[in-house]
Amino acid sequence: MNLREPPIRSQKLRRAAAGQHCTMNLPGICTDDPETVVLAHIHDESFGRGQKADDTSGAHMCHACHTAYDLHRTGLDDGDLYRMLLRAMQRTIRRLVVDLKVIIVPLDPEHLSSSKPTPKRKPPEQRTKIPARKTEWPTGRKLVSRNNLRKASK
């Protein structure tokens, strides 16, 4: 990918956030006020050098979640933050495709009609059982500590 390409900008994507619910839902922070929801840009590979990320790398966030994310004050470690960002972006994309129809995705014909029921799972007694792994721990082996701190303090 050429990082010198201009970022993807879409006024329709940004305006679609108006009046929506927050998809980030940061615990203890989110107000879920539809009046303040905007498209918050999530850092991607086009981010930096004085420019925001693409409009396609964003999530609908209320003012409180957006501010906490921008100021790095979410109270979450990196793993939890990125998991929540991914979830928010997935919710936003689904909303833009299914509900708002701002993003057009060609759907498979068999999924277009909702009259087809989803297949039911087999009852537990008819499911194939996965055999348990038989792992034996080594026995008769003495563990030797390499901790010399106790020896040095005597």
Rounded to whole angstroms, what are the CA distances from 133 to 2, 82, 121, 130? Answer: 48, 34, 25, 9
Rounded to a whole number of angstroms, the CA Rg of the chain reads: 25
Q: For position 33, which CATH number holds?
A: 3.30.50.20
In angstroms, the CA 135 to CA 119 distance is 36
pLDDT in tens, 25-38: 999 999 999 999 99
Domain interval for residue 54: 11-108
pLDDT of residue 149: 64
Note whether residue 113 is domain-resident: no
Retrieve residue 116's tokens: 């087809």
Confidence band, pLDDT 50/70/90 cuts, at residue 15: very high
Retrieve residue 21's tokens: 């619910």
Note whether residue 94 is domain-resident: yes
Note whether residue 33 is domain-resident: yes
pLDDT of residue 119: 77
Question: Looking at the predicted structure, is the pLDDT value of residue 152 above 60?
Answer: no
pLDDT of residue 135: 72
- CA-based torsion, 97, 101, 106, 112: positive or negative: positive
Q: Is 41 a catalytic residue?
A: yes
Q: Which of 41, 43, 63, 111 is catalytic?
A: 41
Query: DSSP secondary structure string, 9-32?
Result: --HHHHHTTTTPPPSS--TTT---
Note whether residue 104 is domain-resident: yes
